[in-house]
A and B are shown apart, each in its own frame.
Chain A
């Protein structure tokens, strides 16, 4: 069954959207939220568990101080007020992936409240108000076995992996964001992008969206333009890529417009996003919602961050992405559009680290957005996942600038680096990629090219100087690209033109 959809541009003539996001971030702490188990991704199922995260009778939680510190730093980076005293709460519901029969979370006493994050879309700034930032624990993971889809429907049985159960999870909740109009899908994406940059700058999470480190629940509603009352919202759960965030909002706007056009009402419900089709489908209906019976977690003592400590954490925050962009724009002298491009490609940190390692901004930008972006794209991975460091890229640019290699050789050196053969310099040596000087070998190659193409020589001498290119190509080919083209050209001119 496919939904009826209204064209995006058309719906904007009648409706305006309100969006909101709840983003879950797995913190990169070494141990879980309430026990000492490891948080390493990808271990054999149920090997990173203990009586506490399995919820065995008698076990008790102890809060992870590093997770509390990370949450406070996130709150500070988002301009939040940090609670001087707050408690964890139990969110009670039954599901096999929550071992205790409740999730330890925070309810009416979040650690951080009332912040904001400014995001830019097409040169316009949108202020996203942050309602709260709180700390909770992740659930286990259900694996449905025996079906074709991996979903519960059709499966013969289900298994639960509790390695993820108890990993600290920060939930960042925005207030409703009205007024973005046609830009709502892009504002949603820009918000998650910027949030991700902040989390990376803080070093609190690896924010690998493909591993589920960061997942957003996207709320969308539509109301007729000019209505004071907002429409009924849907909540699209666990959207886990930047592109999907934008698509999910766009799809929901188009779907809800069709529902409203037909005179029906939008159901308040959770929906699932499907990457393949870019569509959403209904999940659990919130109108028969569970009563979670929240109450303060009696097994944990209240969290009471000392004001002096919070001030110290605030003072120790790193330069945040927005400030860094302003600074780098000035330092690098790049056009603002190019800067925006870098940001959207998620390459700002890489470029800036490459510059810090000695490359010129122009070279760093050229490598990351050119050759490296192409290779990431070919391999289907993020730029950050390429097996090359900013330091190595800086070394490559230095080798080019020094004339040790030319661009073509540098690309070959990069092949070696990506293949794990070592740093660029080592690869250049090992593969013998250095540019040839005016050696006997090169002189021989030049003279062989002249002798092998008397017709070309005649053309050049007859005034068609551009025909020299064919001779340069022949030399480069003979030296397998290791000669410096400019040197070759000069050597040829000396021998052909001036004779």
Chain B
């Protein structure tokens, strides 16, 4: 075991270590040692690429020693949600149907992180095909919350959230379709940002719902998240839906926010997300922390007002038609013909039977549930009533946002109605599980950027504060989140994650 322990440091502190003579191999080894020591209990990783990571770190050290050109993130370890395709490295999307598959290519974001000089530690656990809010739908193993090993780490990017909160990676990439970055970030005390749809390439991201999926950063601080976002963001000619515009300047916005430069900022508190008459299902502690944070912003000079977005009440049913519809089609390619699992190919089954058996055995119950839902919603005779109606609701939600942003610069809400719940508490109640996404779905459906930043504890567990902004104004999310973070850190006299003394997720 190395004497160096960077695993509770933020990225600038690790960069300072590297600049002061620590090697990338030392830093990488420290994370691998920690993974080795605690991930058996925590379950954050599906695949640890130890050897490849050390070899990569040695390359960076050699380049540094030779005075060669180094990427801006040279030597910094990173963890990737297992939904990102990585060349030669097992990629499962949390599913048995892809067990053992080694992709022949890199996702654009993985390639960009490589080019920036990072060292990939491994692939993190997730709900199968990113369908879930607790990571319990992983086909491989549950992941525990470092704050309480009996609780879920959120989902679907729960492996990434547990890894970062537990000190098993300095930062990680997640994906967010209906809240899968923001909700696990909230549940583990991280900063998580879902970029504007099209802001980060989806090429090489195994699709769940194409019109909603976005990759984004999960980090210990707002600044770390901004740095990681800038490294992966921007136009990609391989993704037609990526936006051909410069990446917003996020690090700079973060600095301004951290200095409390919020005067004149107009903040809208969304009534439909935990406001008067809309508190059913919300923890009182969560609502308290969010209210206090809004007051904090007002104290920093922001103009706060309540905003009503009535169509948000319809976000949940609309989302659970659109996302499964797209998923039913996106998951059709998993039929055992070209890659991954194949079942029943023993000469006694027809082609159709081999396809059916493969899908029957390869997919878990939640994935099947959504394929059935989506197939039904797209069927002739039902399309207009389900998929068509859901698209109309989507337009109404976008219209509500547009109207709101005529009056305010950002909208705020809780990230999740509750804190992390006990493992197993909602597995038999899909609707209760779906309700965990209540606050994150509107921004997803409208394709808008939204960030979750820790705003305190309730019942000893982290609470997330969500900041939503207009399309391409991701910088506003970072500015406001940085202001919240700086003010709370100052009041606390410590970083949020410093409150987490035992990060192992081991039973007390």
Contacts of B23 in A (CB 8 A): none
The answer to the question of B278 belonging to the interface, with a C-beta cut-off of 8 Å to chain A, is: no
Q: Which of A59, A90, A96, A294 contacts B203 (CB 8 A)?
A: A59
Contacts of B135 in A (CB 8 A): none
Contacts of B103 in A (CB 8 A): 51, 56-58
Within 8 A of B (CB), among A273-300: 291, 293-295, 298-300
CB pair B203 A57 closer than 8 Å: no
Within 8 A of B (CB), among A83-122: 90, 92, 94, 96, 99-102
Known A101-B335, A299-B210; contact A57-B98, beta-carbon cutoff 8 A: yes
The answer to the question of A451 belonging to the interface, with a C-beta cut-off of 8 Å to chain B, is: no
Contacts of A58 in B (CB 8 A): 84-85, 103, 105, 107, 203-207
Known A99-B338, A102-B332, A301-B240; contact A57-B206, beta-carbon cutoff 8 A: yes
Q: Smallest distance from the beta carbon of A304 to chain B beta carbons, Å?
A: 13
Q: Which of A51, A63, A90, A291 contacts B380 (CB 8 A)?
A: A291
Q: Which of A62, A100, A158, A294 contacts B238 (CB 8 A)?
A: A62
CB pair A90 B329 closer than 8 Å: yes
CB pair A51 B338 closer than 8 Å: no
Report the interface size for chain A: residues with CB under 8 A from the other chain: 29
Q: How far is the CA of A94 from the CA of B333 in the complex (A)?
A: 8
CB pair B375 A293 closer than 8 Å: yes
Q: How far is the CA of A158 from the CA of B345 in the complex (A)?
A: 12
Known A57-B93, A58-B103, A63-B240; contact A295-B351, beta-carbon cutoff 8 A: no
Chain B: CB-nearest residue to A91: B329
Chain B: CB-nearest residue to A101: B332
Q: How far is the CA of A445 from the CA of B338 in the complex (A)?
A: 76
The answer to the question of A386 belonging to the interface, with a C-beta cut-off of 8 Å to chain B, is: no
Contacts of A362 in B (CB 8 A): none
Q: Smallest distance from the beta carbon of A323 to chain B beta carbons, Å?
A: 38
Within 8 A of A (CB), among B231-245: 237-241
Chain A: CB-nearest residue to B379: A291
Known A56-B104, A59-B204, A94-B355; contact A301-B332, beta-carbon cutoff 8 A: no
CB pair B93 A60 closer than 8 Å: no
The answer to the question of A160 belonging to the interface, with a C-beta cut-off of 8 Å to chain B, is: yes
Chain B: CB-nearest residue to A162: B338
CB pair A101 B240 closer than 8 Å: no
Contacts of B28 in A (CB 8 A): none
Known A55-B338, A58-B204; contact A298-B333, beta-carbon cutoff 8 A: no
Q: Which of A61, A92, A160, A301 contacts B378 (CB 8 A)?
A: A92
CB pair B333 A60 closer than 8 Å: no
Chain B: CB-nearest residue to A160: B337
The answer to the question of B383 belonging to the interface, with a C-beta cut-off of 8 Å to chain A, is: yes
Convert A24-59 into 0s and 1s, putting 1 for each residue whose CB lies closer than 8 angstroms to a CB of B.
000000000000000000000000000100111111
The answer to the question of B339 belonging to the interface, with a C-beta cut-off of 8 Å to chain A, is: yes
Contacts of A300 in B (CB 8 A): 240-241
The answer to the question of B182 belonging to the interface, with a C-beta cut-off of 8 Å to chain A, is: no
Convert B403-433 into 0s and 1s, putting 1 for each residue whose CB lies closer than 8 angstroms to a CB of A.
0000000000000000000000000000000
CB pair A94 B335 closer than 8 Å: yes
Contacts of B375 in A (CB 8 A): 293
Contacts of A51 in B (CB 8 A): 103-105
**CB within 8 Å of A: which residues of B?**
84-85, 91, 93, 98, 101, 103-105, 107, 202-207, 209-211, 237-241, 325-326, 328-329, 331-335, 337-339, 351-352, 355, 375, 378-380, 383, 387
